[in-house]
A and B are shown apart, each in its own frame.
Chain A
Amino acid sequence: MSGPLLSVRDLRVGFGTEAGLVQAVDGVSFDLRPGEVLAIVGESGSGKSVTAQTLIGLTRSKNARIEGSVKLGGEELIEASDAAMRQLRGERIAMIFQDPMTSFNPVYRLGNQIVEAIRAHRRDVGKQQARARVVELFEAVGIPNPERRVDDYPHEFSGGMRQRAMIAMALALEPEVLIADEPTTALDVTIQAQILALLEELNRKRNLATILITHDLGVVAEAADRVLVMYAGKVVEEGTLDEIFYDPQHPYTWGLLGSLTRLDKPRPVRLPQISGSPPSLLALPDGCAFRPRCPHEFAKCRELPELTERLTDAPRHCDRCWLGPEEKRAKRQVEGQIGLEAPA
């Protein structure tokens, strides 16, 4: 296997606010190889979107404090100039956003918005040439009648079609890395499946390294190779798709898995949930951030556990929980399946 294409080490992103420094991302590290799909999973406010946007320099601002290292093919991006980042956006790392309804400018034709992206990087490409390229792209992402639809406005497209157009735009310059920030959240379930299938196909055909950001474990199960579970700005568990789904180590991951609706098990009286709400990033509890919501909290939890390999048989499956592997396996069984029992 080739070396990592994108390598993130101890990434920290904080925003200065009137109430103090909000540490939105706190020490995130991961590697991404060509053709690999890495899912970053977590609730709203867990720092997954900020992580993604920081990779392409969209969180840079006067109030932001960004530390750590992001290397793309050996080139450090955190210290890169704004102009260099601009060059790289769209060209080497492309991004798809959550809401296709609002992510296109409503006053320009879709084709022109993609032509704009192409010509921002390739000055020598003529308008007609760029347009022909857009027609090709529309065809590749499965938009019917591409020749005619390139001249439509965003409001003339359905949500699913708009997300396809978004993907076409992201692919326009053949990037190496694709960041998909909740690409299916705003879509119907049937359309979700189509978009995921499309992303998977493109990923396979083009050997695209993909970061898939989502809170939907169903999406993860369908598309991801590796999974990063984030909570309150920190990675709490990391492993392959199978490891995370069949041998989850962190109680937060149990909670996420337990609150999925399962069609293969008898329906519970009430859909399980993780009680409480995520902590404010301005007033994190000391030690493990999940401690206040965790039914298995014990004295040691007041110290922050390291993200480290705790299983002898699964290298690179890391988690942040003080419980021993056997304790975890016993405690995560709730009514015969993986889950998190509600704290007393």
Chain B
Amino acid sequence: MARFIARRLVGMVAVLFAVSLIVFVVFTVLPNTNPAQLLAGKNATPTLVKSIEDEWGFNDSLPEQYLTMMKKIFTGELTSYKPRIPVDEQIVDGIPATFSLTIGAAVIWLFFGLLLGYISALRAGSWIDRLLTGFSIAGISIPVFLIAPVFLYLFTYKFEIFPNAQYVPLSDDPGEWFMHLFLPWITLAILSIGFYNRVLRSNMLDVMNEDYVRTARAKGLSERQVMTRHVLRNSLIPIVTLFGLDFGATIAGTAIITETFYSIEGVGLYAAEAVQKFELPPIMGVAMYGAFFVVIVNAIVDIAYAYLDPRVRLGEAAS
């Protein structure tokens, strides 16, 4: 276990380094604009631009700029350009909203994805299976930026069932928290419900052909015991990996679109605004935050994996 954690920490540092480097290069080297020019405004004098450049270090060599930025990130001194607000505070402020959105959506997609997948597998080939397949493919195919406006139009504007937009903290009012997040949850979960349904169904159909399932029947277990204890249990193992990747990716990025549509002031919306304004520090901060969670979630997945499948041993698995 100690070896596993050590290995994971080294891996995490490497991932964070790579992500920071790529983001830095993409947003510093590639754009054809001078950030000092943007900061100084439309009618700035060359002296003003020059002083801004000096103050922010935009004229330093790229490695120097990178190192300064990294130092600021880890000391918590990183601030956005305009207004000058510490990036870490902004991210921490956004976390409750983002986590409420992603964790809620994850619970919904896991529950319904697995439930429907189980039903599909048990009734493979029947009309229920075909119906669920149709819904799943629709769910996978419809993009979030189509679902979100349609939901908003139907359920908040036309029928006024759900309140429009924004996030109400859970501690303020749990009822409002739920009502405000309901549409975003569904929007974010629909794709994954469809996907998990398909994956679980095909895993289960594969496992049903395994020899040990025949053994389970031969020893006289009831069909339900065979299905839950042997087929479902073993089919869930690859789902855990998938969930780890998806959940990490949702926290780190997929939520951006949903947060933007529903004006949820989470980390995703913060990132989206930073990109629009070309603010490198927040982009960098959010990228590091995202990479951090992806790595953490995947480490948790590996631990869960070793627990679910005794053949996996953490020491070797991480190598």
Contact = CB atoms under 8 A, between A and B. Distances in A.
B309 interface: yes
B309 to A, nearest CB: 6
B209 to A, nearest CB: 11
Nearest to B212: A105
A120 B221 contact: yes
Nearest to A109: B310
Given A106-B309, A120-B225, A155-B311, A94 B218 contact: yes
Contact of A97 (B214, B222, B230, B309): B214
Contact of A56 (B218, B223, B225): B218
A90 interface: yes
A58 B230 contact: no
Contact of A90 (B212, B220, B223, B234): B220
Contacts of B72: none
Nearest to B213: A105
A95 B218 contact: yes
Interface string A116-160: 110011000000000000000000000000000000010100000
B210 A102 contact: yes
A117 B220 CA distance: 7
Given A105-B234, A107-B310, A120 B211 contact: no
A169 B234 CA distance: 21
Interface in B277-319: 308-311
Interface string B190-227: 00000000000000000000111011111111110100
B263 to A, nearest CB: 45
A325 B267 CA distance: 90
Contacts of B212: 102-106
B218 to A, nearest CB: 5
B211 A90 contact: no
A338 to B, nearest CB: 36
A88 interface: yes
B310 A155 contact: yes
Contacts of B237: 107
A103 B219 contact: no
Interface in A44-92: 56, 58, 86-91
Contacts of B223: 86
Contacts of B214: 58, 97, 103
A257 B20 CA distance: 72
B309 A90 contact: no
Interface residues of B, number: 23
A216 interface: no
**In this complex, which of A56, A103, A107, A121 has the most chain B Cβ atoms within 10 angstroms of its Cβ?**
A107
A97 B220 contact: no
B50 interface: no
Contacts of B311: 106, 153, 155
B257 to A, nearest CB: 38
A57 B138 CA distance: 40
B234 A58 contact: no
Contacts of B225: 116, 120
Interface string A220-263: 00000000000000000000000000000000000000000000
B233 interface: yes
A43 interface: no
A89 B219 contact: yes
B219 A87 contact: no
* Most chain B CB inside 10 Å of its own CB: which residue of A105, A116, A121: A105
Nearest to A57: B217
Nearest to B215: A103
A309 interface: no
A215 to B, nearest CB: 18
A168 B164 CA distance: 64
B123 interface: no
A107 B219 contact: no
A99 interface: yes
Nearest to B231: A105
Contacts of A88: 220
B71 interface: no
Interface string B222-255: 1101000110011001000000000000000000
Nearest to A87: B220
B233 A90 contact: no
Interface of A: 56, 58, 86-91, 94-95, 97, 99, 102-107, 116-117, 120-121, 153, 155, 169
Given A102-B210, A103-B215, 13 more contacts: A87-B220, A89-B217, A89-B219, A94-B218, A94-B219, A97-B214, A103-B214, A104-B215, A105-B212, A106-B212, A107-B309, A117-B221, A120-B219
10 nearest CB pairs, A to B:
A90-B220, A117-B219, A89-B220, A102-B211, A90-B219, A105-B212, A95-B218, A153-B310, A103-B211, A103-B215
22 contacts: A58-B218, A86-B221, A89-B218, A89-B220, A90-B219, A91-B220, A97-B211, A97-B218, A99-B211, A102-B211, A102-B212, A103-B211, A105-B216, A106-B234, A106-B311, A107-B309, A116-B219, A117-B220, A120-B220, A121-B220, A153-B311, A169-B219
